[in-house]
A and B are shown apart, each in its own frame.
Chain A
Amino acid sequence: MFGYFLSRLGMFVPTFLGVTLISFMFIRVLPGDPIIVMAGERGMTEERYQEMVVKLGFDKPVLQQYWDYLVGVMHGDLGESFVTKKPVWDEFFALFPATLELSICAMIFAVALGLPAGVIAAVNRGKFFDRALMSSALVGYSMPIFWWALLLIIVFSGNLGWTPVSGRIDLLYYFPSVTGFMLIDSLLSGQEGAFTSAVRHLILPTIVLGTIPLAVIARQTRSAMLEVLGEDYIRTARAKGLSPTRINGLHALRNALIPVITVIGLSVGTLLAGAILTETIFSWPGIGKWMVDSIFRRDYPVVQGGLLMIAVIVMLVNLLVDVLYGIINPKIRRR
């Protein structure tokens, strides 16, 4: 098992280097000079422009810039934002807990509903329940996040007044951030009603962000279950007279989980991409909105640093998924 883990970890290094190069090149390939974009309609003199070029280090050859960046990354320094002049690292960690909290909730929501929905659909294959679930999953999968979010806000916050419109907690509550996770901080604060307020604020963003993964997980679970349910050992189990709950829940589901876990792992990328829109609409102070703003402003250090951090997270999750495979299916780690 340890050898298997090391071999997976070994693949991490070249991927990491590749990501630093791609994130570095990506923003530079986009047309648009950050200095000119910064100056806007106001413009600046040629002399001032040259001063800025030197100040931001753009006068050095690109390879040299990349090398400096890489050396910085190795020392844990992602540079400073051109706009806010603050270290990228600090900004990332100020915002990331909000994204993580939302993503975890969305994933729990997707798995908690998607898995049982997939199993139920597979067991009732071809029946009304199956068709209804799978059509809803298709609708969920095809739903534009932006539209879905606004629809929910207008109905549940605007018309019914059940949920707050946006933000992470009611503005009435004010306490210092300890962990960055609002659910935990609101509990720690000891303020009456703070935790409930944080939960209420999480409902709509969680549903919006979790909808696509929910649909994917439900469909994937259904097809994996169907495949497994056709296997000989299931027929044997049925012949032995095991209860359907035991067959479906224990024997079939465990083996159907492998492709499902793959999908969950891949969904982390989808979640982070979806977070960009969800965070913008719900004024959720996470890394998604931060990245989008930075791309428009051509804030090179933030885009590079942010992309790198997101890529590392996705890679780590996939590493974890690989390890999980090994645990669930010992055959894989022997390959």
Chain B
Amino acid sequence: MKLKFLAATAAIALSSAAAQANTLVYCSEGSPEGFDPALFTAGTTFDASSHPIYNRLLEFETGTTNVIPGLAESVEASDDGLEYTFKLRQGVKFHSNDEFTPTRDFNADDVIFSFMRQKDEGHPYNQVSGGTWEYFQGMGMPDLVESIEKIDDYTVKFTLSKPEAPFVANMAMDFASILSAEYADAMMEAGTPEKLNTAPIGTGPFSFVAYQKDAVIRYTQNADYWKAPADVSNLIFAITPDASVRYQKLKAGECHIMPYPNPADIQAMQDDADINMMEQEGLNVGYLAYNTTMEPFDNPKVRKALNMAIDKQAIIDVVFQGSGQAAKNPIPPTMWGYNEAITDDAYDPEAAKAMLEAEGVSDLSMKVWAMPVQRPYNPNARRMAELIQADFAKVGVDVEIVSYEWGEYLSRSKELNRDGAVLLGWTGDNGDPDNFLAVLLGCDGREASNRAQWCHEPFEDLILKAKQTTDQAERTKLYEEAQVIFKEQAPWATIAHSVVYMPMRNEVQGYKVHPLGGHIFYGVSVE
């Protein structure tokens, strides 16, 4: 027994020593919750699961929000927008592990399994690993998807309850990752169905080797990948929660690439000759939402005047320490449909004051809500609120800053009769403008994710029309128009989009910053 164990470890040692030169080490910021992406919602989990291990029917092209074919070679929508037929790719192999070797290639059964376990409460896998399927639920899929049919082994048809163009982007989201139905059956039979989450099997560029909780995740290259194999033989996630320590490890060469640097370290990293710093605007927006149902914030001119009183550049400098960009639209600039032509309200306290007076607003006092947590779209809400307080004081508006514990904050800020303007933000899920405009500003979102409680018919008509049109050029036009209306009506002060920095050692080649926030290592090499 002991001999066997030693032999096994020696073999692993040899292989790891040989492979060292071709290993990419990523100092990740936290531990994954598990390895079945549909069960979870955190980006850290998706980095460790859906990106390396799995594929989806459709994929986001790395570095853009464009949707491209994945495990489906093509998708066709019916004229009424109610049926989507996916033609599946043939010859795609699943990974294998000690307990499972696939006997067949990927086919329609895997697609049906991957979605029905989330949709059907009677499905044997519906309750496994405490399945709550948050993202599937959150994207409204249970009501949207009426049925999923296998037409033949390589054709699957989704029937929707209503036309919804963002459905295509949803199919590229992490929760839509395709798992092996054969593996699921085998594990159910063995009485260990939870292994789908702890010992994942997918079709992705890397196969899972081992996870030591809170320490290391190891993957190896999938030599049978249906695209060109990954450039590195081994991928290692060294879990390093502290940003300063990640930086030290990067400097010492203990890892090749790291996410989320401390804003204070960014300058030093840019000056370091061994480190290459990539940057891109994040797919997010931080905003101040007025309660548009309450006087005097029900008057668009008052909201507009307040927006003109906010010195966004000062916020970018102080709160984001440069790692942000002033926002003029409610969607980020990396997203298709972004209206470049819109000009932001100029910072002009004098004009703002005059405008407030013209609207008969004087001696206004209001509350500004500051979030108690740090978010990419708002690294320090308290400080941001203080700056806004000072800005508003200049136009004669007295601000009281309030804050609550995060859970309380989220639920109280939804209330229709909420007193005050709320600092909050959003990070995109699927790169579709609908995911910002309809979710955050649509009439259905009132008393929920629409913190401005804003319901404006001309805007609503445009986003509903865009939701039901499958032609992207047409949708782009509609969303651009919607942003014009948003700017005139000013339900929010759009504050900032964060800038995502990705420091890496010079040896790393081919990395692309992904606008959807994921960290993807397929196509990355170490020289």
Q: Which of the candidate stretches A3-11, A12-20, A29-37, A233-241 sits at the interface with the other chain?
A: A29-37
CB of B419 closer than 8 Å to a CB of A: no
CB of B313 closer than 8 Å to a CB of A: no
The contact of B129 among A85, A98, A153, by CB within 8 Å, is A85
CB of B20 closer than 8 Å to a CB of A: yes
CB of B215 closer than 8 Å to a CB of A: yes
Cross-chain contact B249 with A31 (CB below 8 angstroms): no
B375 — nearest CB in chain A belongs to which residue? Answer: A41
Cross-chain contact A283 with B414 (CB below 8 angstroms): no
Cross-chain contact B241 with A289 (CB below 8 angstroms): yes
CB of A150 closer than 8 Å to a CB of B: yes
Chain B residues near A167 (CB-CB < 8 A):
215-216, 238, 240, 254
Beyond A32-B405, A42-B138, A167-B215, whether A158 also contacts B252 by CB under 8 A is: yes
Chain A residues near B426 (CB-CB < 8 A):
41
A150 — nearest CB in chain B belongs to which residue? Answer: B244
Chain A residues near B198 (CB-CB < 8 A):
86
Q: Which of B198-225 contact A (CB under 8 A)?
A: 198, 210, 212-216, 218
Cross-chain contact A165 with B245 (CB below 8 angstroms): yes
Chain A residues near B425 (CB-CB < 8 A):
41
Chain A residues near B30 (CB-CB < 8 A):
293
Interface centre among B132, B137, B197, B239 (most CB of A within 10 A): B132
Cross-chain contact B9 with A95 (CB below 8 angstroms): no
A-contact bits for B221-250, CB 8 A (1 contact / 0 none)? 000000000000000101111101100110
Beyond A31-B408, A39-B134, A85-B197, whether A281 also contacts B245 by CB under 8 A is: yes
Beyond A37-B406, A41-B410, A157-B252, whether A280 also contacts B241 by CB under 8 A is: yes
Q: A84 CA to B248 CA in the complex, in Å?
A: 29
A167 to chain B, nearest CB (A): 6
B237 to chain A, nearest CB (A): 10
A42 — nearest CB in chain B belongs to which residue? Answer: B138
A186 to chain B, nearest CB (A): 10
CB of B130 closer than 8 Å to a CB of A: yes
Cross-chain contact A176 with B216 (CB below 8 angstroms): no
Beyond A174-B16, A174-B218, A282-B245, whether A55 also contacts B407 by CB under 8 A is: no
Beyond A31-B407, A189-B13, whether A84 also contacts B212 by CB under 8 A is: no
Cross-chain contact B6 with A190 (CB below 8 angstroms): yes
Beyond A168-B215, A174-B16, whether A283 also contacts B240 by CB under 8 A is: yes
CB of B357 closer than 8 Å to a CB of A: no
Cross-chain contact B13 with A171 (CB below 8 angstroms): no
Interface centre among B213, B254, B408 (most CB of A within 10 A): B213
Q: A48 CA to B137 CA in the complex, in Å?
A: 9
CB of A138 closer than 8 Å to a CB of B: no
B213 to chain A, nearest CB (A): 5
Chain B residues near A191 (CB-CB < 8 A):
9-10, 13
CB of B251 closer than 8 Å to a CB of A: yes
Instruction: Assign chain A's interface to a size class.
Output: 35 or more
CB of A164 closer than 8 Å to a CB of B: yes
Chain B residues near A330 (CB-CB < 8 A):
none
Cross-chain contact A33 with B132 (CB below 8 angstroms): no
Beyond A85-B130, A165-B248, A283-B238, whether A42 also contacts B13 by CB under 8 A is: no
Q: A199 CA to B60 CA in the complex, in Å?
A: 44
CB of A38 closer than 8 Å to a CB of B: yes
Chain A residues near B244 (CB-CB < 8 A):
150, 153
Chain B residues near A55 (CB-CB < 8 A):
132
Cross-chain contact A94 with B213 (CB below 8 angstroms): yes
Beyond A80-B130, A191-B10, A280-B241, whether A44 also contacts B137 by CB under 8 A is: yes
Cross-chain contact B41 with A172 (CB below 8 angstroms): no
Beyond A174-B210, A175-B12, whether A36 also contacts B248 by CB under 8 A is: no
Chain B residues near A190 (CB-CB < 8 A):
6, 9-10
B379 to chain A, nearest CB (A): 15
B11 to chain A, nearest CB (A): 10
Beyond A158-B252, A283-B245, A285-B239, whether A33 also contacts B407 by CB under 8 A is: yes
CB of B345 closer than 8 Å to a CB of A: no
* Pairs A–B under 8 Å by Cβ, sample size 10: A32-B408, A38-B41, A80-B130, A85-B197, A86-B194, A166-B245, A167-B240, A167-B254, A283-B242, A285-B212
Q: Which A residues form the contact surface with B (CB < 8 A)? A: 30-34, 36-45, 48, 52, 55, 80, 82-86, 91, 94-95, 98, 150, 153-154, 157-158, 161, 164-168, 171-177, 188-191, 280-283, 285-286, 289-290, 293, 298
Task: List 17 additional A-B contacts (Cβ < 8 Å) besides A41-B425, A293-B30.
Answer: A32-B406, A33-B411, A42-B138, A86-B34, A91-B213, A150-B244, A158-B252, A165-B248, A166-B248, A172-B17, A173-B13, A189-B9, A191-B13, A280-B241, A282-B245, A283-B214, A285-B212
- The 7 A-B residue pairs with the shortest CB-CB distance in the complex, in nearest-first order: A285-B214, A32-B407, A85-B130, A285-B215, A31-B405, A36-B407, A283-B240
Q: Which B residues form the contact surface with A (CB < 8 A)? A: 5-6, 8-10, 12-13, 16-17, 20, 23, 25, 30-31, 33-34, 39, 41, 129-130, 132, 134, 137-138, 194, 197-198, 210, 212-216, 218, 236, 238-242, 244-245, 248-249, 251-252, 254, 404-408, 410-411, 414, 424-427, 448-449
